[in-house]
Every structure is written in structure tokens, then in C-alpha cells.
Amino acid sequence: MKKIKRKDFIKKTSLVIGAGATGVLTSCGKKEEKDSASIHTREKLEWKMVTTWPPHFPIMGEGADRFAKEVETMSDGQLKIHVYGGGELIPPFETFDAVSQGMAEMGHSSAYYWAGKAQATQFFPGVPFGMNPQESNAWLYYGGGLELWRELYSKFNLIPFPAGNTGAQMGGWFNKEINTIADIKGLKMRMPGIGGKVLTEAGGTTILSPAAEIYTNLERGVLDATEWVGPYHDYLMGFYKIAKYYYYPGWHEPSGGLELIINKSAYNQLSKSLQEIIKIAAKALNISMLSEFEKMNIEYLKKIKQEKSVEIKRYPDEVLRKLKEITKKVLSDITNKDEMSKRIYDSYSKFQKEIYDWSSLNRNY
Amino acid sequence: MKKIKRKDFIKKTSLVIGAGATGVLTSCGKKEEKDSASIHTREKLEWKMVTTWPPHFPIMGEGADRFAKEVETMSDGQLKIHVYGGGELIPPFETFDAVSQGMAEMGHSSAYYWAGKAQATQFFPGVPFGMNPQESNAWLYYGGGLELWRELYSKFNLIPFPAGNTGAQMGGWFNKEINTIADIKGLKMRMPGIGGKVLTEAGGTTILSPAAEIYTNLERGVLDATEWVGPYHDYLMGFYKIAKYYYYPGWHEPSGGLELIINKSAYNQLSKSLQEIIKIAAKALNISMLSEFEKMNIEYLKKIKQEKSVEIKRYPDEVLRKLKEITKKVLSDITNKDEMSKRIYDSYSKFQKEIYDWSSLNRNY
């Protein structure tokens, strides 16, 4: 494995600064003219995949690259996919629009980024205090989750596929100790998504610091805390050098599901064979990316444990209990306002309750 | 979903009675003559897949069928795979030999059955008190597990791929209560594999009852207890009608990994494209079969809970602690006698220890 330096990592990461998902689609990615009438079985195709990751970003970007190679090999060269990191062809957070409008045929990302398009997207990667990756996949593939996801994306002319998972995330890096829920009051923390809403509701201040500035902001006290991903990516960001505490569990993101999105019109023009290749390769990517995250998180958790200046701490039970209560309120606020969010979360939470009855039998020996 | 009756299920299951893995290979599956010089890219191939499952057996057999269809579609009809249930072409437990010798090009099974060929095979599906499926996959794909598996199978002219998982299994059906480790003494239980060795070491008697006879044996007291798979398959076997207790956790099989095996010479003759199709389809099968098991186990655990005559009980902590100790001894007996078992279990247990440090941060909120 190649060694990655913190500065290079942050430089890469800064390409995907928290621009949000509201960017306007520019026309920098010109759509190639194609004979849309029919694509014959052996005709060679070249597709573009845009991503929200920096080029060749550890695991996510590398996984997208691997997916492209696999598809090319499986199709015997018939479908060649050019993978673009965020900012290479279009800004990262225009991925959804670009694929929706056909400027690129595919995208790799997290559905979590598109809450500005449709609130309900954010339920697919994972929900605070929700299911773990294995449980989430059961919901997506066999519990009706993916059907709902397809329905939601259909009006954007997109077909989604589960395609990777960060695994459970960590609670984040703190320079203030969290002993009671009162310690959240006034806490300046970088935490996007539903988790961020929970934090705000608990009295904290969420600050959407661009990735490249989190380190400095944490160092200077502009931020008291930040969550990021898990041990591997967090280590590369260097937070262990300037934060006192590394909290767990990542209650806000117990599963970090990623997505492959495909322009529906482009997909429908493919032969059955290429459609199946993409579908199956996405499924394989889903398990291989999660497995790689697990492996790398093990390695980097060990490294972080060796840092004497960092204390790895568990959120107190009482704090987790309160955060869980607040999460219920935040989720109910979202689902009360949006019909599709309600349908999706109803399906998710019913499955969660039932799978816990099963999963809980298999733990703790 | 089609409704399956217990009698049909047992009839199906009886095809794979506990014949063990010691059967002699018969020559009922004649190898087709092929021009081995080269297989050109677009040449159509027909392959046989033998399995240890009854034809179209729920999830395992159905998954093998699905895999075959996916490969055929992905390869645009170039590789057609005929799937045979156990007993249709050869007896189920000759799968390993048949694929090794090229009578069939592929097999779907559990490595666990081939301990008679090489003791070390039984570490790949899962180890008592070992890793869960998500953790096991990380070990296999990124922790060196699959390389060791390939090395072990190489001398049998086989290439293995992880290809499915039952998820955590259940502890089993009992007509005697287990309150202390002393209650294992004299217990007549159907439990194969390493788990069975642990049971014997704890003073129990393992009885390898053919699948079709377990129900009757349990009813008549020939067996005091039996493990099987999980709620879905266990329900179909009807054990809830005649057993008083359903114990958890399935300490003996916290992960039930399945395998796709391919004749190495046959694989090497394939185009790069077909090789990749098989590799990726196996990976996809790995996650989809696990997801389906999770979903069905939820449904059937609910059904079992509705049966008032069955009590779902947890093994007492002290019993689990003792069984864990005995497991260590049994594993060390196996690894002391067999070099390859030692190498594989050393790799497995090192990874297990490390991933527990990580996984344990993400549980129990």
C-alpha cells in the first residue's frame, strides 16, 4: 500500500470542501453525441463516471477506479468507463445533476449529499442510531429499501445501486470532554446531515467547515470538535495531532452507505448483458469497499492508539440516551414534512426493529 | 415467495444427509471432451455446477441458480451453467472431488464439509466464537484469508471464492435445559464440525443423524438436541413442534460462509472476461445470499416466537465461558497436528483480535 501524506490527503480532500449539494450545474462536461436508436451488443461504448471524491481517493476513489476496470474486463472492452474525481470534470457536488441530465452516464457518491434535492435521500446511507452495514444491506436488497430508493430517484432520471460502505463511523475528535448532555451546549462542531440537526437541537452549533480548513479550525479553537469518517481517513487528516479525545460510537452514522447512480436513459439503452454487468459489479463493490474499510480501520485504529496525546473515549450512556431521544424528534420533524421521507423511514425503522430482535441474539458472548 | 411444506423440505434435505465428506467419487458425471487448446472469446461454453444442496434449496440452491443466470446474462450467453442439486448428477458430498477432477467445472458448497480432505478447510466458513460475516469477509478479501484458501485448494486443482453466508447460526433445539456446563454431560446432540468436537470434549455425545431422521430422533429421545442453521431453515424443518427450547447464540458458527469452487484448469482456459465475470458474480452472491438469510431469519424468528410451546433461551454466560475455553483447546489440538491449519488459524485469530478492538467500539448503544 502506498503511503499517503497528510498534506496531500488534505489537498485532495479540499477538492470536496463542504460546498453542499446546491451548486448549479455548469456545462463543462459536454455530452457526447450518440445514436440513441440502438446500441448493438458488440458496439464499443465510452462512459463517464463523475464522483464526489478527490481523484483516486483512498477506498472510495480507488473503488470507483476498480469498478470501471472490472466492468471493462467483464464486458471484454465493450464498456469503457472514464472515472473523474470531483473537480476534474465538474465540481464534486454537481455529480447528481450531471448524471441526472446525462452530462455523465454514471456517478459514485453518497446519497446523503442530495438532501437539498430530496430530503428522503439521506435515509439510504444510514440513519443516526440506525442499522449497521450488514443489516442495512438486508433492508436494501431484500427488505424493500432499494425499491423505494429507485422510486425516489426515478423522477430525477436516475437509477441508484448500493455501491460501497464506510462501515460504522467514529463519534469524532474533541477538544472538550463530553460528560453530560449539557456539555453539548455551545459546542462548535463540524457535523453535517441528520446528525448535525441532532447536535443543534441539543444546543450545539454546527459549523460546516470546508474539509481543508477543519484541521486549522480545530487547532485554533474555531471548532471544538469534528466528526469525519473512521480511523483510516481520520488519521490521514491528522486530527490526532491536535485533538485530545477521539469519541465513539459514531451514533450519527452507524453505516455509511455509498451509491452508484446511473442516468436512466443511458442505462435503458444498454444491452441486457451490460446492464447485468453493472448491476452485479455494483453489488460486488458494495461488499469489497466495506471489507477494505474494515481492514484499514483496524490498522489505523492501532496507530491512533499509539498516540499518547489522544484519549479514546466512549460517549457516556446518558449522553447517548439523550441524543437518541433527540434523534427521534428530528426524524419525526423530517418525516412529518415530507411524504417520501415518511414512507422510506417507516420501512427502514420497521426493518430495524425486527432485525434487532434477530441480531441481538448473536452478539455479546 | 412460495410456501414450502416441512415434509417437502425434509425430503429435499434428506438428499444431503450427513454422509460426511468421505464418499468415494463415482464416475456418474462424465467429463465432456473439449478442445483444451484454446477457448476463443465468443465461443459458447456449457459448464456444470454441482452443489451440496438439494435442487433449488431455499437461499443456497436458489442462489446458485441465480448465479448461473447472472453469469449467462453478463456473458451474453457465452457461458451457460447447468446447476445440479446434490444427488442429481453426483452425491452431494462428492462435489469437492468432482470439481477437483474436472467432472464438473464448478461447485457450490461449504468448505466445512471437506475437513476429511484437509483439516484446514473448516476454518473458512467460520470458527466457534469467531468472527461474524462482516468481519470474516474483511479477513477473506483484505486480511490474507482468501490467499491462504487459494493456497490450500491449489493442490486439489481448485480455486475457491467466498460465495454466500448463512449469517450467524442459532445454538440449536433442546429438550433438556442447559443451566451449567454439567448439563452438557451425556447430552446427545447432533452437531458436526469443530462445534461437535467441543461438545464431545465437554462430555456430550455427538450423533451424526441424517437430516431426514433428525426430527424423528428428537421426537423419540434418540437425540436430546440438534443444531441446524437459523430460524428460516430450522422452521422449515419443523423442530419447533417437538423441541422445548431454542438456544442462542450459535457460538459454534457465528458466520456460515459458503464457497464457489472452480476447477483450476477449466478456469485457466477461460477468457479474461469470463474469469472476471465469475469472480465478480461470486462476490455479489456473497453479499446477496447473506442479505437474504438476514431477511428470512427475521421473518421466521417472528413465527417461532409465536409458538407458545417453544422457549427461546440464551445459554448462560458461564456455559458460554466454559465452551469458549474448551474451543481454545480443541482449536489448538487441530492446529498442533496440521501445519496449514496452524497458518490459517494464526492469520484468522490475529485478525479476529484486531477487528474486535474496532468492532467493539461500534456496538451497544
Question: Residue A211 maps to which CATH number?
Answer: 3.40.190.10
Average pLDDT over residues A59-72: 98
Which among B134, B135, B321 is the top mutation candidate for probing chain A, defined by the most A β-carbons within 10 Å of its own β-carbon? B134
CB contact under 8 A, A74 and B249: no
The torsion angles phi and psi of B79, rounded to 5 degrees, stand at -120, 110
Whether residue A195 lies inside any domain: the answer is yes
Mean pLDDT, all residues of chain B: 91
Average pLDDT over residues B334-347: 98
Q: Are residues A127 and A16 in the same domain?
A: yes
Domain boundary among B297, B330, B354: B297
Residue B304 lies in a domain: no
Please check the confidence at residue B20 and state whether its pLDDT lies above 70.
no
User: Taking the CB of residue B213, how many other CB atoms lie within 10 A of it?
Assistant: 18
> Are residues B124 and B70 both part of a single domain?
yes
Asked if residue A341 is part of any domain, the answer here is no
Q: How confident is the model at residue A209 (pLDDT cuts 50, 70, 90)?
A: confident
Return the pLDDT at B15: 47
- Whether B26 is in a domain gets the answer no
Query: What per-residue confidence (pLDDT) applies to B37?
Result: 37
pLDDT band at B32 (very low <50, low <70, confident <90, very high): very low
Residue among A288, A358, A362 whose CB faces B298 most closely: A358
Of B268, B278, B74, nearest in space to A272 by CA: B74
Distance, in Å, from the CA atom of A64 to the CA atom of A51, rounded to the nearest integer, reads: 8
* Residue A28: per-residue pLDDT: 33
Q: What percent of chain B has pLDDT over 70?
A: 88
Q: In terms of domains, do A191 and A85 share one? A: no
Write the DSSP assignment of B144-158 as a string of letters. Answer: SHHHHHHHHHHTTTE
**Residue B340 in domain:** yes
Q: Regarding predicted confidence, which is higher, A313 or A2?
A: A313
Same domain? For A19 and A124 the reply is yes
Contact (CB<8Å) A74/B362:
no
Residue bearing cell 419443523: B238
Q: Give residue-wise pLDDT tens across range A81-137.
A: 999 999 999 999 999 999 999 999 999 999 989 999 999 999 999 999 999 999 999
Distance in angstroms (rounded) separating the CA atoms of residues B205 and B187: 6
The pLDDT confidence band at residue B362, using thresholds 50, 70 and 90, is: confident
Q: Are the C-beta atoms of residues B241 and B310 closer than 8 Å to each other?
A: no
Give, for B248, the enclosing helix (H) or strand (E): strand B245-248
Question: Which of A10-24, B15-29, B218-232 is least confident?
Answer: B15-29
Q: Do B211 and B315 belong together in one domain?
A: yes
- Greater confidence (B247 vs B211) lies with B247
> For residue B101, is it within any domain?
yes
pLDDT at residue B43, rounded to an integer? 84
Q: How many domains does chain A have?
A: 2
In a domain, B303, yes or no: no
Distances (CA, A) of B106 to A176, B84, B182, B264: 58, 10, 45, 10
Tell me, yes or no, whether A204 and A134 share the same domain.
no
The DSSP code for B181 is G
Q: Using a pLDDT cut of 90, give the percent of chain A over it.
A: 85
C-alpha cell at A244: 485530545
Q: What's chain A's length in residues? A: 365
Cβ neighbors of B174 (< 8 A, separation 6 or more) are B224, B225, B243, B244, B245, B246, B247
Query: In chain A, which among 131-190 make CB contacts under 8 A with chain B?
Result: 132-135, 137-138, 140-143, 167-168, 170
What are the residues whose beta carbons fall under 8 Å from the beta carbon of B118, sequence distance 6 or more?
A: B152, B156, B338, B340
Q: Could you report the per-residue pLDDT of A181-204, keeping only the tens digit for each?
A: 999 999 999 998 899 999 999 999
Residue range B228-236: mean pLDDT, rounded: 97
Question: Which of A246, A278, A287 is best to mutate for the B interface (most B CBs within 10 A)?
Answer: A287
Our CA-based measurement puts residue A281 at a distance from the nearest CA of chain B, in whole angstroms, of: 6
The pLDDT value recorded for residue B21 is 33
Whole-Å CA distances, B279 to A73, A340, B62, B334, B341? 11, 37, 19, 31, 25
Which chain A residues are Cβ-neighbours of B364 within 8 angstroms? 249, 364
Residue A168's alpha-carbon distances to A19, A56, A156, A250, B307, in angstroms, are 24, 22, 29, 7, 35
User: Do the Cβ atoms of A251 and B133 come within 8 Å?
Assistant: no
Helices (H) and strands (E) in chain B, counts: 12, 11
User: Which residues face B206 on adjacent strands?
Assistant: B189
Residue B27 has pLDDT above 50, yes or no: no
Helix ranges, B123-192 (H)? 133-142, 145-154
CA angle B121, A364, B293 (to 5 degrees): 55
Q: Between A248, A298, A358, which is nearest B354 by CB?
A: A298
pLDDT digits over B286-328, tens only? 999 999 999 999 999 999 999 999 999 999 999 999 999 999 9
If contacts are CB pairs under 8 Å, which of residues 228-257 in chain B contact chain A?
231, 248-251, 254
* Residue B29 predicted with pLDDT over 60: no
Say which CATH number the domain at B139 has.
Answer: 3.40.190.170
Inform me whether the pLDDT recorded for A357 exceeds 90. yes
Domain end marker among A271, A297, A323: A297
**Entry field: residues in chain B:** 365
Contact check, Cβ <8 Å, A358/B137: no
User: What backbone phi and psi angles, to 5 degrees, belong to A319?
Assistant: -65, -45
Last residue of a domain, one of B244, B272, B297: B297
Residue predicted with more confidence, A309 or A12: A309
Q: Say whether both B101 and B121 belong to one domain.
A: yes
Say which residue the cell 428470512 belongs to: B296
Print the domain residue range for B264.
Answer: 6-19+44-166+256-297
User: Are residue A137 and residue A223 in the same domain, yes or no?
Assistant: no
Quote the radius of gyration of chain B (alpha carbons, Å).
20
B291 and B154 together in one domain: yes
Whether B245 and B331 share a structural domain:
yes
Residue A146 lies in a domain: yes
Determine phi and psi for B313, rounding to 5 degrees. Answer: -125, 150
What is the phi/psi pair of residue B132, to 5°? -80, 175
User: Do A320 and A247 reside in the same domain of the chain?
Assistant: yes
Would you say residue A8 has pLDDT above 80? no
* Residues A281 and A192 reside in one and the same domain: no
A278-311 pLDDT, tens digit per residue, is 999 999 999 999 999 999 999 999 999 999 999 9
